[in-house]
Amino acid sequence: MCLACEEQEYFFRVWCVGFLARGEMPPGVTMEDLEAMGLPPPKATAGGPDGAADGPSASAKAPAPAANAFACDSPDE
């Protein structure tokens, strides 16, 4: 694996962990993807009295970039 691929894989994991820490599922990532990376499922966040999480709703958030936009073109060695 080339250095660029390793770096992309590392930062993708960090990006996913950020969502999981907020109790959200990373966009474009499935539970199977999380299991393959060895990451836990998102934890439920403490919400208000109606159980809704504080902050903007999911529909009000800006769309996230594609999860796997990077493609390595270096030959395997």
- Give the pLDDT band of residue 2 (cuts 50, 70, 90): confident
Task: With respect to residue 3, please indicate whether it lies within any of the assigned structural domains.
Answer: yes
By C-alpha distance, which of 65, 70, 67 is closest to 37?
67
Domain that holds residue 17: 1-43
Domain assignment present for residue 68? The answer is: no
Q: Alpha-carbon torsion 24, 28, 30, 32, what sign?
A: negative
Confidence class for position 77, pLDDT limits 50, 70, 90: low
In a domain, 71, yes or no: no
C-alpha span between 23 and 17 (Å, rounded): 10
Instruction: Map tokens 């594609």 to a residue.
Output: 66
Residue 62 lies in a domain: no
67 located within any domain: no
Please check whether residue 18 lies inside any domain of the structure: yes
The total domain count for the chain is 1
Q: For 15-45, how does the pLDDT look when each residue is reduced to its tens digit (9 = 90+)?
A: 999 999 999 999 999 899 888 888 888 876 5
